Amino acid sequence: MGRQLLANIRNLLGYSTPKVYKQAGALALQLKKQAAHENKTLRAVGHSLGGGLTAVACAKAGIKGCAFSSAALGAKTMKRLTPEEKENAKNLVSNYLVEGDLLNNSRFTNAFRMEAKATIPGNRVIIKPKPGEYLKPFLARHSDSHKCYMEVLKAQSKEHNLSSEPPPEYLP
């Protein structure tokens, strides 16, 4: 945990790109080839660090993805992306961010984030928690952000007449 935290901080400050981001891009390219061989479509989804990995995977492989409370990519990581890959990330990634989440859009981190030149690529969707929710400390807000996302996804499912229940093959 300590080494990954240090790698995340170095990434945010723009000093280096963590190995895991490089691996995510390479893996996405391999999986995209495999999916195409099987006549299937690959999508990427991630939360927190996984959201940052999703952005890199989508950028490198040119696939659609959805990120939740995504970790920002540092300046060094962004520099490693080609102009085409940056366009991929911008156009193919949907980023759902909960207002007040310390990791990605808190008023307390915006100045630091601007200084570090980090970014969260893609189409940003800011979700406002229901009144009375998120009275917890900032770090707990990030951990519980999935509750806000589930509400939004349930509403979208109803709006598009999609079942909110998982398909039978996913039930125990």
Domain ranges for the chain, please list them: 2-161
Closest CA to 12 of 168, 119, 98, 106: 119
Q: Which residues of the chain have pLDDT under 50?
A: 115-117, 164, 166-172
Residues in the chain: 172
Distance from the Cα of residue 74 to its chain's centroid: 14
Of 110, 140, 145, 111, the closest CA to residue 128 belongs to: 145
How far is Cα 92 from Cα 34, in angstroms, rounded to an integer? 20
Q: Is 171 helix (H, G, I), strand (E, B) or coil?
A: coil
Structure tokens at 54: 């999703």
Q: What is the pLDDT of residues 77-123, one digit of tens each?
A: 888 999 999 999 999 999 888 777 766 655 555 555 554 445 788 88
CA distance 119 to 135: 27
Task: Return all residues near 78 (Cβ < 8 A) that are at least 6 apart.
Answer: 86, 117, 119, 121
What pLDDT does 28 receive?
97
pLDDT of residue 166: 47
CB-based contacts of 24, cutoff 8 Å, min separation 6: 53, 54, 56, 57, 60
Specify the pTM. Answer: 0.78
pLDDT at 103: 67
Helix (H, G, I), strand (E, B) or coil at 58: helix
pLDDT reported for residue 118 = 57
